[in-house]
Amino acid sequence: MRRTLAAMVSLAILAVPPARAEEEPPPPPPTAAQAAESGEDLVPEPVVSPWEENLAKAVDVFPIRVLGACATIVGFGAFLVSVPLVAPAGRMTAIRESWDYFVIGPVDYTFVRPLGEL
């Protein structure tokens, strides 16, 4: 158990791309006059530290993705139970909606979503 947890945390930490030396500086924030002309509000973007990003990725790898994989398996079982209930209606769209809800939703959340975006 400890080895698995250590491997998952190591992979999450290693998944962070290294900082590039030749990064372009961010564009300067708009002045009040420029914001007034464009009609935008001056709301600063939240600053996220690398520590917070790595922590979010580590939390996403271990409990969230594992639970998502479990939800995919349980969702497939729920789909199998729901097919006899929606099939007598004679609508293939009902079966497709059931498949999308019970299987595709958890699969997208677990395997398609970018790492660290909860």
pLDDT digits (tens, 9 = 90+) for 30-45: 666 666 666 556 566 7
pLDDT confidence of residue 50: 86
Q: Mean of the per-residue pLDDT values for the chain?
A: 80
| Average pLDDT of the residues in 17-33 | 63
Instruction: Give the model's pLDDT for residue 118.
Output: 77
Give the model confidence (pLDDT) of 4-19 as tens digits. 766 666 655 555 455 5
**Distance from the Cα of residue 50 to its chain's centroid:** 18
Q: Determine the distance from the C-alpha atom of residue 65 to the mean position of all C-alpha atoms in its chain, rounded to a whole number.
A: 9
Tokens at 54, concatenated: 């790595």
Question: What is the pLDDT, as a whole number, of residue 106?
Answer: 94
